[in-house]
Amino acid sequence: MKIIYLLVSFLSFCVSAQVYNLPALPFSNDAYEPYIDGQTMQIHHDKHHAGYVNNLNKAIASTPMEKLSITDLLMYASFRSASVRNNAGGHYNHSLFWEILAPPADQKPMSKELENAIINQFQSIDEVMVAVNNAAATRFGSGWAWLVVNPQGKLAVYSTANQDNPIMDVSNERGIPILGIDVWEHAYYLKYQNKRGDYLSGIWSLINWGVVSDNYTAALNNPLLAELEKDNWLALKEFHKVMAQTFHPAEEKNFEPLRSRSGEMYAKAILLKNSRPPETVNNKKVQDALSRLEKQCFIIHSTVQKPSKKVDVQNALLFDQITKAHEIFHEIQGLCHD
């Protein structure tokens, strides 16, 4: 009995204490030389990546985020704390980076499927490497350069700052990364110092195109691509933020956020009405709901601006009005996810 109790408490300790784990490097630290030195690999993996994993676990501990997948944490990064955004990104990005690197003798060749796609879009393998290197070389400060599959199923090259990546809604360009190059100084400084270009020339000798090819096939078949397409409506997200930050306090009888931001909410409703929805949801039903939402936000803003001696009565009216706006908003969201 005691053993079972100990076992259960040990297991629950493991589950709650460590949601994400540091993946082991597939090769020894010095297997990546001369392109990346052993000490850099060791510090990069054992210290930097481990730090992202530990801080991510701390940031989500005892919150509903413990139950979300890493892609959920990334996709809605704009709604998360800086700590979740940076550390979930850091963990995801480095996990991908270790997967695609291998000493030349351990690499597998590129698939025909990926080769054809690259030649179709970039003319040659060399050209895609030039495009990624340009993105990496011109990234100011710390960040990443990416080869992604975008929501249209095409290859694209992007770069993002810090530990952001194209799965995140904070990135204007969305897609599933299949190759990522770390251009933080911690990735190369010991050996290359300020010569980012030399690091970028060397790193291609370590890219395992076989793994990148597997990532390409997996990305094309990943349902996340369709989610990214629908999620790529920035005006809807901008409106969602104001709505969430005014409606939820109002539900708790705090009308101050709504009273001070009704003008901003109305302005964002106008921008949303005039924005271009993703192709798959650009239909009459959605357009009609957008018009109703704009009118409803105008009504709310007019109520806020009216002088009123009976604040309780006006708050009750405002609550009815924002509840209606909130319903129309969710109707639009629902139409997006049918």
Residue (187 or 318) nearer to Mn ion, CB? 187
With binding defined as CB under 5 A, does residue 35 bind Mn ion? no
Q: In this chain, which of 86, 145, 168, 182 binds Mn ion, going by CB under 5 A? A: 182
Helix axes 311-336, 256-274, angle to 10 degrees: 30
Smallest gap, in angstroms, from Cβ of residue 44 to Mn ion? 6
- How far is CA 103 from each of CA 34, 35, 96, 115, 117, rounded to the nearest angstrom? 10, 9, 16, 21, 25
Q: Can you give the C-alpha Rg of the chain in angstroms?
A: 24
Instruction: For residue 134, count CB atoms less than 10 angstroms from its CB and return exposed for 0-12, middle for 13-18, buried for 19 or more.
Output: middle
Smallest gap, in angstroms, from Cβ of residue 181 to Mn ion? 10
Could you tell me which stretch among 53-61, 81-89, 184-192, 235-243 binds Mn ion (CB under 5 A)? 184-192
Residues in binding contact with Mn ion, number by CB under 5 A: 3
Smallest gap, in angstroms, from Cβ of residue 41 to Mn ion? 11
With binding defined as CB under 5 A, does residue 188 bind Mn ion? no
Residue (45 or 301) nearer to Mn ion, CB? 45
Smallest gap, in angstroms, from Cβ of residue 135 to Mn ion? 16
With binding defined as CB under 5 A, does residue 92 bind Mn ion? no
CB-closest chain residue to Mn ion: 182
CA-CA distance, 22 to 24, in Å (whole number)?
6
**Nearest residue to 164 via CA among 149, 150, 180, 151:** 180
Residue (187 or 228) nearer to Mn ion, CB? 187
Q: What string marks each residue from 129 to 168 as x (binds Mn ion by CB under 5 A) or -?
A: ----------------------------------------
For the chain, the residue count is 338
The token duo for 318 is 């405002």
Instruction: For residue 151, count CB atoms less than 10 angstroms from its CB and return exposed for 0-12, middle for 13-18, buried for 19 or more.
Output: buried
Could you tell me which stretch among 1-9, 30-38, 62-70, 185-193 binds Mn ion (CB under 5 A)? 185-193
Residue (181 or 187) nearer to Mn ion, CB? 187
CA-CA distance, 85 to 167, in Å (whole number)?
11
Give yes or no for a contact between 99 and 25, defined as CB atoms under 8 angstroms apart. Answer: no
Residue (175 or 180) nearer to Mn ion, CB? 180
Smallest gap, in angstroms, from Cβ of residue 93 to Mn ion? 7
| E strands in the chain | 143-149, 155-161, 176-182
Residues that bind Mn ion (CB under 5 A): 182, 184, 187
